[in-house]
Amino acid sequence: MKIDNSLPLEYSTGQNQINILGFWIFIGAEIMLFGTLFAAYFTLVDRTGNGPTGADIFEIAPLLIETFVLLTSSFTIGLAIHAMRLGKQKAMMTFFGITLLLGLVFLSVEIFEFNHFYHVGAGLQTSAFTAILLTTLGTHGAHVTFGLFWGLSIVLQVRKRGLTPETANKSFIFSLYWHFLDVVWIFIFSFIYLKGLM
């Protein structure tokens, strides 16, 4: 295995570079996944039938918490990668921990919100609108849930093995995933919530 010391650890081997490029290609496919969900959402947003509209069920308080929490977690995972490049494993672990904690807060608020939707009569089968709304939000939420377990296993692995080209590569790829989830949330926040509330 050839290690190039002029590059950050996560890029230091050929395998690592290919892994990162491969993950970008995966993100391309994810963009398309959310693209189709948004296309379906915009088509069905007015098909509310006898159910509520977006303006009836969206609430600003949970939305604000979710947005700021996820935005901050995207910042802290960026700081974690920065600390990793400085070789400061302890700081990196702290930032990773904060990120996962914020992810957990986001998920809790989202579950609370889904519960609220259900109680005001917006279930998965109420109307075409509520179905696509919950599918889109749920797909994003499922990604965050998966990310929490993935991030946790990376924390455990770095703690056990230290910073090696492999663990640094995995941590960096996780950070790409987490930032991507934040990007998706920005679009959900703007074109589902704010557009609905406008």
Partner 1 sequence: MSELFPRKQVMGFVFSLILTAVALLVYFLDMPFTTGMTVLLITAFIQAALQLVVFMHAGETGDRGSIYTNLYYAIFIALVTVFGTLLTMIWGYI
Q: Of residues 78, 121, 123, 138, which one binds partner 1 by CB under 8 A? A: 78
Does the footprint of partner 1 cover residue 3 (CB under 8 A)?
Answer: no
Does the footprint of partner 1 cover residue 82 (CB under 8 A)?
Answer: yes
Does the footprint of partner 1 cover residue 68 (CB under 8 A)?
Answer: yes
Does the footprint of partner 1 cover residue 149 (CB under 8 A)?
Answer: no
Q: Of residues 32, 111, 120, 142, which one binds partner 1 by CB under 8 A? A: 32
What is the C-alpha to C-alpha distance for residues 99 and 43, in angstroms, rounded to an integer? 34
Does the footprint of partner 1 cover residue 67 (CB under 8 A)?
Answer: yes
CB proximity list for 99: less than 8 A, separation 6 or greater: 73, 76, 77, 80, 151, 178
- In this structure, are residues 169 and 16 in contact, taking their beta carbons and an 8 Å threshold? yes
Q: Which is nearer to partner 1, 9 or 123 (CB)?
A: 9
Residues of this chain that bind partner 1 (CB under 8 A): 7, 11, 17, 20-21, 24-25, 27-29, 31-32, 34-36, 38-40, 42-43, 60, 64, 67-68, 71-72, 74-75, 77-79, 81-83, 86, 88, 91, 175-176, 179-180, 182-183, 186-187, 189-191, 194-195, 197-198
